[in-house]
Amino acid sequence: MNKSKILIKNNDMNAAGSPDFTIGKPAQLIRQDSTDMGDNRTWDEWEKTFDAIPDLIAIIDTNHRIIKANKAMANKLGCLTTEAVGCHCFEVAHGLEAVPDFCPHAKSLVSGNEEHSDLVHYRLGGSFDVTTTPIYDAEGKLTGSVHVARDITIRRKRENLMKENLALGEFALNHSIHDLLIYMIDKAEQFTGSQIGFFHFLAADETQISLQAWSTNTLKNFCSAEGNALHYPVDKAGVWVDCVRERRPLIHNDYANLPHQRGMPEGHATVVRELTIPIIRGDKVVAILGIGNKAEDYDESDVELVSQFANFSWEYIVSKRFEEALHQSEQYARALLDAIPDLIFRMSRDGTYLDYKAMKEDLFYQRDSIIGKNNRDLTPPDFADLVDSSIRMALDQNKMVMFEYQLSVPNSGMRDFEARMVPGAPNEVIAISRDITERKKTDESLKRKISEMELFNRMMIDRELKMIELKKEINILSKRLGEEDRYIIHNK
């Protein structure tokens, strides 16, 4: 158990027995009622620093009353810092009449130790990493705790996004493309708290929109306009296709007052605000994902999350369109195969290559044609085992099998691939392999940059606070020697 704690002196207690302070460092707390000029200046500096910290910080006594809150906490509670003082934390923060079971402050009062909890806070609208550190007086009496809440909403959304990407892939295995589109739109709504959503394809020349799908909530509660599977000219569409024209995500938080907006067709959902995301492949916009009517304004965090989800989803949509095309006609499937940049192989149950579509330089084996050759004779044993087991699973269970692998491609080095294998003709499979090397590098780079940014922020805050404390201490020692202050500490 973590033994972190904060100490106070007896003369820092008020008549009611509660600590008469805001917050301090271990074994020393600055009194608000100090009359010493140096202490007052120190207090001012400390309070400005306290209010500048973006984390939500409050000092709470043993009766669950707020003694002091910084500006971030007060802003989140919707009040001034002075208005929060004296209020029960469970009332102003949670809207409750009693202490909730999950309260980390209550746990610190019982354990006498630092407590930690990850909370989804619906009233404050986000996820928080909460730590409570107990406060003791010099005689060892517990007088309250320092409550620090860090907003981790964006981090949680990113984590949920990765989980939903995996769930989307699982869903795609056994559902039609129409069901997949609705599932995807519903999830985009959930990420952002939106109430309406749509997904439409664009023709190759970007002049026609194929109206495809609306979210479950849109069709159930908001929209009765016809249009599913119809084609609609881009030049006659409203502001929601501006993202195609500008080739970037667009936010319209005041839809009703847009100067160039057009009227809605009869039965269409009323739009208050919207976010539209163009899905771009190469230099072409291939589809649009739109969501709307979030309770508050859309912002850049919504753009980031929905853009990532839309682009991940597109990969599954392309694969699903391909799968369904296979069932329609071999001629249509061949035309679609030629348009897909992925490596495509037709293989027998024993691993023999029957046909393939790939550039020679993209293959592991490049000496001559692979048709008629067995995969085990061309590739490393571990990869051959993986392919054989995947073929058996796809054929025996009559389902798509997905797996990732690495192969060293001549003149390209080690590459990462994602493969989807589906049953074809009797005792045959179709394997679609996509090079995901750059995507993996980008994902790893993104994770590293986020970690570096979080570490840098922590270091900068710690350094700033330490420098302020050191300058104060040097000035105090200089005064004792009868010298002037060596440092001017500017208010921040």
Among the listed residues 150, 162, 163, 152, the one whose alpha carbon sits nearest the alpha carbon of residue 446: 162
Instruction: Give every CB contact of residue 122 below 8 A, 6+ residues apart in sequence.
Output: none
- Which CATH number applies to 6-151: 3.30.450.20, 3.40.630.30, 1.10.10.10, 3.40.50.2000? 3.30.450.20
Among the listed residues 319, 317, 311, the one whose alpha carbon sits nearest the alpha carbon of residue 188: 311
End-to-end CA distance of the chain: 36
pLDDT confidence of residue 395: 95
Question: Residues 110, 94: contact at Cβ < 8 Å?
Answer: no
Among the listed residues 354, 359, 366, the one whose alpha carbon sits nearest the alpha carbon of residue 341: 359
How far is residue 141's CA from residue 137's CA, in Å, rounded to a whole number? Answer: 5
Angle at 315 between CA 313 and CA 320, to 5 degrees: 95
Which amino acid would we find at residue 96?
L
Length of the chain counted residue by residue: 492
* Cβ-based burial of 258 (10 A; exposed 0-12, middle 13-18, buried ≥19): middle
Q: Where are the alpha helices (DSSP H) in 329-431?
A: 330-339, 375-378, 381-397
3-state secondary structure of 298: coil
Residue matched to tokens 């319209």: 252
DSSP track, 61-103: ETTSBEEEE-HHHHHHHTS-HHHHTTSBHHHHHH--SS--TT-
pLDDT confidence of residue 219: 83
Residue matched to tokens 């029957």: 354
For the chain, the domains span: 6-151, 156-328, 341-435
How far is residue 69's CA from residue 89's CA, in Å, rounded to a whole number? Answer: 11
Count of beta carbons in the 10 Å neighbourhood of residue 285 = 19
Q: Report the sign of the C-alpha dihedral through residues 72, 76, 78, 79, in that order.
A: negative
How far is residue 6's CA from residue 61's CA, in Å, rounded to a whole number? Answer: 13
DSSP code of residue 11? G
How many helices and strands, by DSSP H and E, does the chain display? 14, 19
Both tokens assigned to 375:
């995969």
How far is residue 47's CA from residue 27's CA, in Å, rounded to a whole number? Answer: 18
Instruction: Give every CB contact of residue 278 below 8 A, 6+ residues apart in sequence.
Output: 243, 244, 247, 248, 249, 285, 287, 288
How far is residue 97's CA from residue 431's CA, in Å, rounded to a whole number? Answer: 60
Q: Where are the alpha helices (DSSP H) in 147-248?
A: 153-173, 177-192, 216-217, 242-246
Both tokens assigned to 376:
């085990």
Q: Can you give the pLDDT of all 492 residues of the chain as single tens digits?
A: 444 555 444 444 444 444 444 333 333 343 444 445 555 667 677 778 888 888 888 899 999 998 888 888 888 888 877 788 888 888 888 888 888 888 888 898 998 888 888 877 666 777 888 889 998 888 889 989 999 988 887 787 777 777 777 788 788 888 888 898 999 899 999 888 899 999 999 888 888 887 678 899 888 876 655 555 566 777 777 788 889 989 999 999 988 888 776 655 555 667 889 999 999 998 899 999 999 999 889 998 889 888 888 888 888 888 888 777 766 666 655 666 677 778 889 999 999 999 888 888 888 888 888 889 999 999 999 999 999 999 999 999 999 999 999 988 888 889 999 999 999 889 999 999 988 888 888 878 778 877 877 777 777 777 777 777 887 888 888 887 778 887 787 655
- The answer to whether the 156-328 and 341-435 domains have the same CATH topology is yes
How far is residue 30's CA from residue 46's CA, in Å, rounded to a whole number? Answer: 9
- The highest-level CATH class for domain 341-435 is alpha beta
Q: Report the sign of the C-alpha dihedral through residues 76, 79, 85, 87, in that order.
A: negative
Both tokens assigned to 71:
């500006």
pLDDT confidence of residue 392: 95
The CATH number given to 156-328 is: 3.30.450.40
